[in-house]
Amino acid sequence: MVGSSHEALHRIFQKDPELLTRALQRVLHVPFPRPTEIAALNVDLTEIEPVERRVDTLLRAETDEGTYLLVVESQGKADERKRGSWPYYLSYLYEKYRCEPVLIVITQSSSTAKWASRPIRLGLPGWHSLTVRPLVLGPDNVPVIADEKQAEADPTLAVLSAMTHGRGPGAMAILESLASALRTIDSDSAAVFAQFVDSCLADPQAKQMWRDLMTAVQYFWRHPLAEQVREEGRVQERQEMTLRVLEWRGVPVPDAVRERVMACADLDQLEVWAQRAVHAADAAELFADE
């Protein structure tokens, strides 16, 4: 289910697309060719049929060796439905753009990383018609950056490090190094990165550490770009709450209902649905009188 940390984990690659290819080369040791140009593409993979399918982030990388589509999926926990969704995404994108798609999964969980890295094989045993092998970035391979000079040399990689490792006894050094690095880049980027990190810190103590560090540079929190990110986070949290209430109450949530809720960005409408979820006997009752 989408949450604010989910959004931050993949949106960092929209903010700095080249971070993704650097991570492939330096973290996963994948010999990805040096991009000459990277562009963001529409993440909507919906077909004419009324079935909505969206990837988290989709980038087109032009290289001397050809064009690649970088499909970034933020994953909070194991979800076996992805065994059908991810092959569909890759096949659809190859058919639409006629260039090679590359699936990258990013997670804050070691167990989820282990699950996501398992190949998805479709077809007969020993003779698979399709095999999908996700590239996974997680806490076991993203580097820990707790040195100010390292953080300042690559601030966006330091952001990814903080979002992935910002917990436990080493959190303070990581967050202090990143705070120093953010002071060396433009305020627009720093504002968004600061909010990304805040969204991803699940440990209350680490989150408070980060907010204390950011207090000295208050424009991070006043900046309109940071406010936009916060607004998107509120929408996602309300979407998540609406669906979670139904699940807590044992009300089945069909895919069509889930997709409609997740597609709504109107906080007032989401509030109405959240209130209805408390009493609804059927998930479709969320949309009564609409």
pLDDT at 47: 54
* Residue 242 buriedness (CB in 10 A; 0-12 / 13-18 / 19+): buried
Residue 280 CB neighbour total at 10 angstroms: 18
Confidence band, pLDDT 50/70/90 cuts, at residue 4: low
pLDDT at 143: 92
Between 187-200 and 155-165, two packed helices, what is the crossing angle to 10 degrees?
10
Q: What single DSSP character describes residue 286?
A: G
CB neighbour list of residue 217: distance below 8 Å, 6 or more residues apart: 179, 182, 183, 190
185, 16 contact by CB (below 8 A): no
* Residue 139 buriedness (CB in 10 A; 0-12 / 13-18 / 19+): middle
Cα–Cα dist 168/171, whole Å: 6
Average pLDDT in the chain: 83
Q: Is 198 helix (H, G, I), strand (E, B) or coil?
A: helix
Q: What pLDDT, in 10s, does the model give residues 236-278? A: 888 888 888 888 888 899 888 998 998 888 888 888 898 888 8
Partners of 136 in beta bridges: 105
pLDDT at 275: 85
Enter the pTM of the model.
0.63
